[in-house]
Chains A and B, each alone.
Chain A
């Protein structure tokens, strides 16, 4: 089975959905794919314990109403065998998709930093715990500590509380001054202001970060540095994430220019490569409203509707302001670089401790000598961690971008030489 798309969109979060809906009235043949079982991305992750807001449900219904949009769920990108062609795989099949225009809407993932005990069962990401609860995990009557940085901690705490957990502490690494400064700006974005109000929680502590998780076979408690004091709490779960980082691996592999840690785009959401666009959090963290505006601009631009794209510019500028305030408030404290001890594992796939990395000068040398980043996750967890810890730039990934079946890779044999 091979497929052709006038417009191929990777990622079905707010950005990808908005891009598809903007481009659909042009009649273009649109294919959108996403590795999750349902459309919605991170914020509108569906599941038995998720309650989707009306906006998300409406977007999903609108997507279904367009006969020229095909959505492949549970589908991941494996390789880019030729120009404007991707090899993809779902649970059953592997196939090639050729495209004329491409929009990457690959979103962001959590920054997970190593600290003693972070490999214990019971420790998850902060957004990770939220995602697991939405997909059916029971946390009823469990004691939960949430730590790390950013507004996602509050969102995760709200989900855990709603499902019967007792949230003992929300440890935000940013200082009280930064958090208060950010909160004071919230009235500039009224909808967000309301959202954060309903998220407010009396267990929130700024200037507080995790030092260690402990337990024998699974998590039994955590040690926190709380506003200068050391505090220990017994708990069943620790959900710890240090903000979001853009998913740029696929863009990097396709030759997109990178700016900071994100895919670089111009005012049309176009990359440096002709016919290749990007929108949403893979171009920088900014929340769902910014992702929706950027997605719409990319969708209109990709089908040549310049004027319609331009109409979204003010909306994008407004939410970019929110994103800037957010990123500034939750800048990571350099103290977090010293959480890992010599024996703390940094690479969880290959079990490589911190001590095995310190002697190297860059990511490539460390990888070759230690196998750090060469395991199943292909450095998507430890690569971001070492970038934070040592300032090493992760190298571009090579196909297969995610573990693939032999039968899928055999599709490549049918490809005429590029």
Chain B
């Protein structure tokens, strides 16, 4: 069971859980703020819409196509 940090809070999830699912398990599910200030969350769940982009270990990644790993640092865009 990997333990990751989501916006500074520790979170343990089941093996194979995507970061997109973890956003909802450990927070309000949102990933980013749009250019006009709306909060957004994963939409397509399959790597198309890019709504789920977050920073993982310093790199911009798609939460829906990234599997949670132990020690991962996930930061949503405020």
Contacts and interface: CB of A to CB of B under 8 A. Distances in A.
A124 B42 contact: yes
B35 A138 contact: no
A128 interface: yes
B46 A42 contact: yes
Contact of A124 (B13, B39, B43, B66): B43
B10 interface: no
By size class, the interface of chain B is 35 or more
Interface centre among A42, A76, A137 (most CB of B within 10 A): A137
B50 interface: yes
Interface residues of A, number: 42
Interface in A361-391: 375-377, 380-381
B71 interface: no
A35 B22 contact: no
Nearest to B60: A403
A261 B60 CA distance: 31
Prevailing SS type, chain B contact patch: loop
Interface string A345-357: 0001111000000
A131 interface: yes
A150 interface: no
B77 to A, nearest CB: 12
B45 A121 contact: no
Nearest to B52: A132
Given A37-B65, A37-B66, A138-B25, A127 B48 contact: no
Contact of B20 (A48, A127, A137, A375): A137
Contact of A48 (B17, B34, B39, B40): B17
B39 A217 contact: yes
A137 B43 contact: no
Contacts of A123: 43
Interface in B16-50: 16-18, 20-22, 24-25, 28-30, 34-36, 38-50
A117 to B, nearest CB: 11
B6 to A, nearest CB: 13
B43 to A, nearest CB: 6
Interface string A112-137: 10000001011111011111100111
Contacts of B40: 119, 121, 348
Contact of A128 (B15, B28, B45, B67): B45
Contacts of B44: 109-110, 112, 124-125, 128, 131, 381
Given A121-B28, A403-B60, A132 B20 contact: yes
Interface centre among B18, B30, B35, B59 (most CB of A within 10 A): B18
Given A36-B65, A47-B18, A377-B49, A121 B60 contact: no
Nearest to A121: B41
Contacts of A294: none
A107 B45 CA distance: 15
A350 B15 contact: no
Nearest to B59: A405
Interface of A: 35-37, 42, 46-48, 74, 76, 91, 109-110, 112, 119, 121-125, 127-132, 135-138, 217-218, 348-351, 375-377, 380-381, 403, 405
The 8 tightest CB contacts between A and B, nearest first, are A136-B17, A131-B45, A136-B21, A135-B18, A121-B41, A128-B45, A376-B50, A137-B21
